[in-house]
Structures are given as C-alpha cells and as structure tokens.
Structure 1
C-alpha cells in the first residue's frame, strides 16, 4: 500500500495535477460544454478508441477513456485473439499507444499472433513452417508496420495489482498509453492474499477500474466464464453477468 501510494504521488507530480476533493458544478460546465461542442463540430460516431469492428464501434462509440471493459468467454473461445486484434487496430490504424499485460502467453507468442493478423497469414501454417514466398513477403511488410506501432508488452506471470499499476503509471508517463489490456483477470494476484478468491477478484477488478480513472485510459480485462453457461439448455447458452467466473462485483 505504501509503495502504491508513493508511486501514485510521484505520478501526480509528474503530470502536475492538482486534485480538488470537491468541485462546484459551475466550474465543470465550461469544459464539458466545450467537449460537447467539439463533438458537434466533428460529427464522428467514434469518440473513444476504435476497435476495428465497425458495428460495435457504432454502438459503443469505441472504448472510452477511464472505462473498465470486460471481454469474457469460455477457454479457447478466442478472447485473447479478439483483444490482440483490437490492440493491433488501435495502435496501427489509430496510432493509439497500447500496453498489453499477458500473464498467460509469452510475449513471443503474442508477437507471432500480431504478425499473422497484420500479414493475413495462417497461424497454423506459420507454426509448422509451411510458408510460401508470398507469406514471407507479407510477414516482412507486417514486421515493418508493427515495429512502428506504439505497442508495449509485459508477460510477467502471476502479476500483482501493485506491480501492474506501477508499470501502467510508468508507461503512461513515458509513452502516454491510452489503453491497457490485461490477459487475464483470474491469473492476477490481489494486494492481499485471501482464502475467498471471489472477494480477491472483486478487489482486483475495482483496482483496475480505479487505475483506468486515475490514468484516464481504457482498461480491457479478459475474464473466464464459469461452467454454468455450459450446463444450461441448448437454447439458453447466451452468457449472463452471473456467468463471469469468480466475478463477485465486476
């Protein structure tokens, strides 16, 4: 807790922010109105970070800064692939600095996936070495594009909340990251070890939301769904919030 508070204090000094505990609404209205006016002038349907999925972006206006977004699914359903595709689009196409915390896959695996996605090369063919000359050309071009993209990867296993927050603050100060991806929530360690894993995950999710608000970034957390969704009838497989594994108070 002391380390976390100290780093938060240092970050605030670096950003030269002055925190006011209570603000009258009159002081907030000018900036809010200016923001609304800017939206009116632009008339863009995406006001946050674009994901590359047009229909989703139209519905949500993109991932908004200060929000905690949960991507949930059962194992091997493509959660990481979806998150990486969003990270690639945001960083390559929108030039949005992205930080990826991968507690499940090694950083080399993530780079492989990003290369295949950018090059439109079959990942299985790459893993067994069956690449054509055209594939090599595409991969080389993709490597050049990704090398210039503002993507930062940390694959520290079993990372704790304090360490994650410290690294996010550092990358925010150094590279002005706008989005952080956490893969995945159930592999994180809480600030305090607890016999109640549900309570621990709840504390982790609250910490991630607080981090999103503190840094003014979008935090995307990948989460597993419980087996309950598979036990329901075939016509009732649509996930519910209660299906979030060890969800507690997401």
Structure 2
C-alpha cells in the first residue's frame, strides 16, 4: 500500500503467464514481449521468470522439470514455494492462447509502478534545497523514457510488408520532403523519412539561411516542420524567415530599419506567413531527450513531417561524464534514433573545424573537418557541405569554365547512403536569407556525370588548427 492506495499489480495474471510459459510452451513468446525487464511484482514470480530466461538463452528446454532443477541449483526452489507451487502454476492454465494479452496488462502495471517510483523520487528530491531541479527532471525524463522505449519496442516486420513499401514508393514521383532547390531535388528526390541529414559549413557560409530556405519551401507546400533553434531566439529566427518570405533585407527587419514600402509589404504578407505550419523551440543547450519529447509532441499533435536542428554541437547531455567528442557522438546517434522512431527526416546543422581556413585553393571541406565529429559521419545518411568561395575572396570556380563565384554557393554531397556523391552550384542572396536555382539546371541529363570536387591534399598543419572549443565567430547570423 502507498498513501493508502494499492500498488498496481495483477498477481493472478503473473501466475497465468508463468504457467503458460512453463506448461504450455509459451516461454519464447513471453521472453519476446518482456525481455530482461523486471515486470513481475511478486519477487518469487520474478525469480521464476529469470530462470526461464536463463534456460532460454542457453537453448535448453523449458518445462516443469528443467525450471525446478534450475531453481534447485540457485537454492531458490523452497523460497518460491517448492515444486507444489510450480505444479499449481501449470495447472491454472490450459493453453498459451491469451499469453500476449495478459502480458500486456502486466506491462502496463509495471509502467505504472515505475511512474510512481519516479514521482516519489521527484517529490523527495524536491524537498532537498541543495538539489538541482533541472538535473532531477532530466533524470526523471530519462528513466520514464527508457520504460516507454521498452514498452513500445518495434516488432520485426515480415518481408512481404517491406517489399510492398518499396513498390508503394516506386509509384510516387517524390518520396520525401521536397527540397527548395531543383538541382538538389533532382539528386535526392526529397529528404527521406528516417534519414539523418547533416548540413555542415564554417560560420558565414549560410547554413542557417539554407535551412530556412528548405523549411519555408516545405511549409509553403503545407508540410508541417519543426525547428529547434539552439543558437537564436524564436524572434530572431522568425525575422530571418520573414526576410526570406518577403524578400526584404534581413538587417532592416532585425534592426527595425524598414521603409514605408517594405513595411506595407510586410503587413500584406503577415497573415499568410503566420499561417505557415512551422513550429519553433528555442531552448539553448537542449538535450536529446528534451528534443525527443518535444518532437514527439509535434508529431502527435501537429503532424510534423520534418525536423531541423540548428545546430548539433550546441546540444548538451547534462549527466554526460565523458569527453566532448563522445557527447557529440551520443547526440548525433540520438538524432538518428529520433528520425527512425518518428519516421521523419531530421536535418542537423553542424560546425566545421578551423582546418578548413588554413587549406589552400577553394578551402573546400572534407569529412574529417566535421568538428568534434565523433560518430557523425557514421550516423548520418546524408552529409552536405556548404561552401561560398566569395567569402574567402576566391573569385572563380575551379572548374573548366572558371565562372565567377559571386552570389553563388556549392552544395557538396560528401556522403549519400542511398545514392551517388557529387556537388551542385546554386545561387544565394544571404541578405534575403535565400538560396535559389541558377539558370540552365533543366539541361541535366540522366547520363550526365556528376561533378565531384577534388579532395584537398593532406595538410600537416591540420592538427594544429583543430579546435574543439567554440569559435569566436560562431555567433555569425548565417
């Protein structure tokens, strides 16, 4: 009893599922549903289940005799009630027909008990004046999240259903969330569900602007999107998005320097802009767990179909004990998990190391430049590098045409799990937070070879340039 109330339990169902597992061949089904979790309320019942799991892992038979012998070896047979109790369990059920239904009820009881346990801990710690309430909440969310992950474990899909998904996708022209850029759309056919997309660049290249461009394009098509802005406030981000939407200089909007004509244009577009299905969460140093909770809520209540994170290296895990690289690795792995669990593409912006700055020529990024990279390269399905040579005062592209770089950017697909790598050049107007297609993209033919940027020569000074601390220029608006 707790506070005069009965703790959630169902001892009769516990006996029923154990009897079905021992006497009716239901052990494998029970273990598939429960695993190693301690879902049984009565310690004696949990001891019997643990023995069943041990026998199953050793590929030994599971029946009245083998369970009895295993309990004898552990010295627990008498403690659970002896052979008489085991026989009684088996006689209570005639088949394993209702095993899954009964086990689901036990799972619910277990989750309720865990919720009570977490709640009691919060209550107890809340009275402690020295406790950090945010760390307490983080720990509580984490504990409950682990239980819910176990409860909602995804069952294996039969092969026929997987094949049907392939043919369903084959009948669709666009299989993912469309890109705002035709060259990129041609290459990717949209941002695919369950994919983790990394958009990486040095400060000043325009990665936030490109994210805004993609998010707005999806929202204009009626596709709900969620944005986690760890660097800028929701107001700052909305101002940049409005600059793109109205094609007004972002500096004028941010500093309240718009003229009468621009103000009239903003008022005309205000209602349409405010109705776009865009949702912003601007908590700094958000943890993967907090992000998952908010993203799940957006998915459930708003039907969000794509998530954006600006940017990855600003995420934090409050209870993390390892080094910074491992923390970033854990964050990227968590984002990939969120993409799969919510069945949405997740685009995470990422910062590159200073190694790019000392590189000669076009200063084109490579995969090893991913700052505090950890397992980002491993977790990502798609990695895109954004480069504006104009920023480095490089006037011409390094292709055969030697065309000018002014107002242009290169999007280099350095890793693509589902297709070929390669790069495309697009136009950009960062004063409007816009990226756009250049004329002539329609001339791409199916058999045309993709431009693959040359890989920079190894530089012995790269190690000196590697800096895992936040750059001084990381607060640049793009």
Q: TM-score band (shorter)? A: 0.7 to 0.9
Matched, 1:164 2:291: yes
Deviation at 1:132, TM superposition (A): 2.5
Residue 83 (structure 1) aligned with residue 83 (structure 2): no
| Contact 1:107–1:155, Cα closer than 8 Å, also in 2 | yes
**Following superposition, which runs of at least 4 residues in structure 1 exceed 4 angstroms of deviation?**
6-10
Q: 1:183 Cα deviation (Å)?
A: 0.8
**Structure 1 stretches lacking a partner, 5+ long:** 13-17
1: distance between equivalents of 2:147 and 2:263? Answer: 48
Query: Counterpart in 1 of 2:138?
Result: none
Distance between the aligned counterparts of 2:195 and 2:324, measured in 1? 24
Q: 2:343 corresponds to which residue?
A: 216
Give 1:7 shift: 4.9
Residue 204 of structure 1 corresponds to which residue in structure 2? 331
CA deviation after TM superposition for structure 1 residue 121, in Å: 0.6
| 2:198 corresponding residue in structure 1 | 70
Distance 1:66 1:223 in 2: 19
Name the residue aligned to 2:379. Answer: none
CA change 1:30–1:130 in 2 (3 A) is closer
1:118, 1:246 → 2: CA distance? 34
State whether residues 162 and 191 of structure 1, in contact with CA within 8 Å, keep that contact through their aligned partners in structure 2.
no
Q: Which has the higher contact order (CA 8 A, sep 6+)?
A: 1
Structure possessing the higher radius of gyration over alpha carbons: 2
With over 3 angstroms needed to count, the CA separation of the structure-2 counterparts of 1:20 and 1:228, relative to structure 1, is same
CA deviations on 1:179-199 (whole Å, 9 max, x unpaired) are: 111111111013641341111
1:5 matched to 2:132? The reply is no
Any conservation in 1 of the 2:239–2:254 contact (CA below 8 Å)?
no
Counterpart residue number, 2:7: none
Instruction: Please state how far the C-alpha of 1:244 moved relative to its aligned partner.
Output: 0.5
Gap regions ≥5 residues in structure 2: 1-141, 377-478
Cα deviation per residue 1:28-72 (whole Å; 9 max; x = unaligned)?
A: 223332332x23xxxx3x321122111111111121111110111
Residue 100 and residue 134 in structure 1: after superposition, are their counterparts in 2 closer, same or farther (change >3 A)?
same
Q: Distance in 2 between matches of 1:161 and 1:239?
A: 27
Return the match for 1:51 from 179, 183, 193.
179
| 1:190 lines up with 2:317 in the alignment | yes
* Conserved 8 A contact 1:119-1:141: no
Quote the Cα distance in structure 2 between the aligned partners of 1:247 and 1:192.
Answer: 20
Higher helix residue share: 1
Cα offset, 1:157, TM superposition? 1.0
C-alpha contact (below 8 Å) 2:231/2:310 kept by paired residues = yes
* Count of matched residue positions in the alignment of Structure 1 and Structure 2: 235
Cα distance in 1 for partners of 2:199, 2:211 equals 8
**CA deviation map 1:135-192 (0-9, x unaligned):** 1122123321121111001111111111111111111110111111111111101364
Q: Hey, what does 1:239 align to over in structure 2?
A: 365
Deviation string, structure 1 residues 84-134 (Cα, Å, up to 9, x no partner): 121111102x11111111110011001111111101111122334332332
Structure 1 residues 9, 118: closer, same or farther in 2, change over 3 A?
farther
Match of 1:249 among 375, 386, 402: 375
Tell me the TM-score normalized by structure 1.
Answer: 0.87
TM-score of the pair, normalised by structure 2:
0.47
Task: Map 1:68-147 onto structure 2 (within 5 A).
Answer: 68-92=196-220, 94-147=221-274
Shift of the 26–51 alpha-carbon distance from structure 1 to 2, 3 Å rule, reads closer
Q: Distance in 2 between matches of 1:199 and 1:112?
A: 34
